[in-house]
């Protein structure tokens, strides 16, 4: 297939539209950090340079009007807004007050909106926390571990680490119950040079109750660290398994780890998938600071201006995004995987992996994930540990029979 990346007329015949209910809003297109692995700034796509630094009031009004019209057309009663960037706090406090005020007026009680924000945490203050409580905005913070780990990659434009700033800024979260209720937890990008158990224990020791570990973004053309040269290595699975084993053996309920909980959930409920595990049905669009309507933002790693559809809330209806093959591919999740994935016994859990991680210039998205073997090894390991806790008669009733990583690899033809 040719790599999609533009609006292409009608959607693929076998696909049905997944109603758009989630919007990632790029309210600021610049950042006060320069993280080495960032898909926005450091993976080859420089389209951010042509974006306004902040989303203006006219664009907010246009996008909310389009969203309300789309909800009326699709008979949707709720929408989810995720404020993103860049660093979204650079948009300023009044931006968020204005946004919520306008959304409340335009939706007229007929559409319910929820709000969250993903921030690098360096700009958080008591005033920001007060605003989150005022507007009922939940917030997540990106941080990669203790200072020695975090400050290798999450650095300022002058190369200084960010850990101490973020750690200090988060202090009120551990003492204020209202803030804890709004806190969505920590996002941690995996660093193979770091000790995974040290990071896990650090989050637990400082009082973090929710976290997720993210695979660094990469494609078959530009593989993530430790995956250069191909082969059957599984460094990311080996890294995560060390955390999983301690977490699982200790029956640690003090720290929720999303990637492990998602895998366990998918073992018993294949319909509980999300975009990076299980496939899921992904009703999401990205709105850039200039009002550009785009598919999943991480697809920027696939090439310069890859996500540009030529659509904008100032002149286009949101339904026009359904004509993009790229939007359709993301929406359909595991329904559009390659033959290798279809032969894999872990497909219901893996879902083919995150769409951007499947990409190559040669085959488009008709590849297994660049993390195929890591995902397979992690999933089979978690599966075996969980099944070992279930009596055999129950496993047999559920039709859940043991299989190893080596067995699963042999079925796909990909060597373990």
Across the chain, mean pLDDT equals 92
List Cα–Cα distances, 81 to 27, 29, 133, 280, in angstroms. Answer: 11, 17, 16, 19
Q: Omega into 201 within 30° of 0, i.e. cis?
A: no
Of 267, 239, 240, nearest in space to 350 by CA: 267
Residue 11 pLDDT exceeds 90: no
Maximum average pLDDT range among 119-123, 229-233, 327-331: 119-123
Predicted local distance difference test score (pLDDT) of residue 230: 66
For the segment 133-149, the average pLDDT, to the nearest whole number, is 98
Is the pLDDT at 7 greater than 60, yes or no?
no
Cβ proximity of 116 and 122 under 8 Å? no
Residue 339 vs residue 414, higher pLDDT: 339
The pLDDT of residue 334 is above 50:
yes
**How are strands ordered across the β-sheet holding 284-287?**
256-257, 210-214, 183-189, 137-142, 112-119, 78-84, 22-26, 284-287, 292-294, 311-312
201-227 tens-digit pLDDT? 999 999 999 999 999 999 999 999 999
**pLDDT, tens digit (0-9, with 9 covering 90-100), for 237-265:** 999 999 999 999 999 999 999 999 999 99
Average pLDDT in the 326-354 region?
92
Q: pLDDT value at position 365? A: 96
Count the helix, strand and coil residues of the chain and give each as a percent rounded to the nearest 5.
45, 15, 40
For residues 112 and 211, what is the distance between their CA atoms, to the nearest angstrom?
Answer: 27
Residue 276 pLDDT exceeds 60 = yes
Q: Which band of pLDDT confidence, cut at 50, 70 and 90, is reported for residue 14?
A: very low
Please write down the HEC assignment for all residues of 84-119: ECCCHHHHCHHHHHHHHHHHHHHHCCCCEEEEEEEE
Residue 141's H or E segment, with its range, is strand 137-142
The whole-number pLDDT of residue 395 equals 87
Percent of the chain with pLDDT over 90: 84
pLDDT digits (tens, 9 = 90+) for 19-51: 999 999 999 999 999 999 999 999 999 999 999
pLDDT value at position 76?
97
The answer to whether residue 2 scores a pLDDT higher than 50 is no
| pLDDT band of 415, cuts 50, 70, 90 | low
Length of the chain equals 416
Predicted confidence at residue 402, as pLDDT, reads 78
Longest dimension (CA), the chain: 62
- What 3-state class would DSSP assign to 21? coil
pLDDT at 15: 46
232: Cβ contacts below 8 Å, ≥ 6 apart: 373, 414, 415, 416
Lowest-confidence region among 115-124, 233-242, 271-280: 271-280
Q: Could you tell me the two tokens for 252?
A: 């640690």
pLDDT confidence of residue 280: 83
Predicted local distance difference test score (pLDDT) of residue 180: 94
The DSSP code for 319 is G
| DSSP label of 194 | S
Please, which residues have CB within 8 angstroms of residue 171's CB and are 6 or more apart in sequence? none
Residue 201: CB partners within 8 Å, gap ≥ 6?
Answer: none
Give the pLDDT score at 167. 97
Most confident of 127-131, 229-233, 339-343: 127-131
Could you tell me which residues are beta bridge partners of residue 118? 140
Residue 352 has pLDDT above 60, yes or no: yes
In the predicted model, what is the mean pLDDT of residues 222-237? 87
Distance CA 225, CA 228 (A): 7
The pLDDT of residue 63 is above 90: yes
Q: H-helix or E-strand containing 256? A: strand 256-257
Count of alpha carbons within 13 Å of 170, Cβ hemisphere only?
25
pLDDT > 50? residue 271: yes
CA 26 to chain CA centroid, Å, is: 14
Yes or no: say if 311 and 379 are a contact pair by the CB < 8 Å rule: no
Rounded to 5°, the CA angle 56-31-94 comes to 35
Q: Collapsing DSSP states into helix, strand and coil, what is residue 41? A: coil
Domains of the chain: 22-336 (3.20.20.70), 339-412 (no CATH)
Range of lowest pLDDT (2-6, 26-30, 196-200, 390-394): 2-6
| pLDDT tier at 12, thresholds 50, 70, 90 | very low
């Amino acid at each position: 297939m040719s790599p999609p990346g533009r609006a292409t007329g009608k959607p693929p015949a076998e696909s049905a539209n997944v109603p758009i209910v989630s919007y990632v809003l790029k309210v600021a297109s610049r950042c006060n950090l320069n993280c080495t692995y960032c898909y926005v700034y450091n993976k080859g796509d420089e389209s951010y340079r042509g974006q306004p630094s902040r989303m203006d009031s006219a664009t907010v009004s246009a996008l909310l009007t389009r969203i309300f019209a789309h909800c009326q057309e699709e008979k949707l009663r709720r929408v989810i807004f995720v404020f993103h960037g860049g660093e979204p706090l650079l948009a300023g406090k009044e931006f968020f007050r204005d946004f919520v005020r306008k959304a409340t007026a335009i939706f007229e009680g007929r559409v319910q909106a929820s709000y969250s924000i993903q921030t690098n945490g360096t700009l958080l203050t008591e005033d920001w926390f007060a605003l989150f409580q005022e507007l009922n905005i939940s917030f997540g913070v990106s941080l990669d571990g203790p200072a020695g780990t975090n400050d290798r990659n999450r650095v300022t434009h002058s190369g200084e680490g960010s850990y101490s700033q973020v750690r200090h800024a988060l202090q009120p979260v551990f003492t204020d119950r209202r803030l804890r209720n709004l806190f969505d937890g920590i996002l941690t990008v995996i660093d193979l040079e770091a000790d995974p158990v040290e990071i896990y224990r650090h989050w637990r020791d400082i009082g973090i109750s929710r976290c997720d570990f993210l695979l660094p973004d990469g494609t078959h053309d530009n593989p993530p660290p430790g995956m250069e040269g191909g082969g059957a290595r599984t460094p990311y699975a080996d890294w995560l398994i060390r955390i999983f084993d301690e977490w699982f053996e200790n029956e640690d309920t003090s720290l929720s780890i999303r990637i492990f909980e998602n895998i366990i959930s998918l073992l018993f409920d294949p319909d509980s998938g999300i975009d990076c595990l299980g496939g899921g049905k992904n009703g999401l669009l990205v709105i850039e600071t200039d009002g550009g309507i785009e598919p999943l933002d991480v697809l920027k790693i696939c090439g310069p201006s890859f996500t540009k559809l030529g659509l904008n809330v100032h002149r286009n209806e949101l339904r026009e995004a359904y004509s993009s093959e790229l939007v359709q591919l993301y929406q359909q999740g595991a329904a559009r995987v390659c033959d290798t994935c279809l032969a894999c016994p872990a497909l219901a859990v893996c879902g083919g992996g995150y769409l951007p991680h499947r990409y190559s210039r040669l085959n488009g998205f008709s590849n297994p994930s660049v993390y195929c073997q890591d995902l397979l090894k992690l999933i089979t390991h978690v599966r075996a540990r969980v099944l070992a806790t279930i009596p055999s008669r129950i496993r047999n009733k559920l039709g859940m029979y043991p299989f190893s990583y080596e067995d699963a690899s042999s079925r796909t033809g990909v060597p373990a």
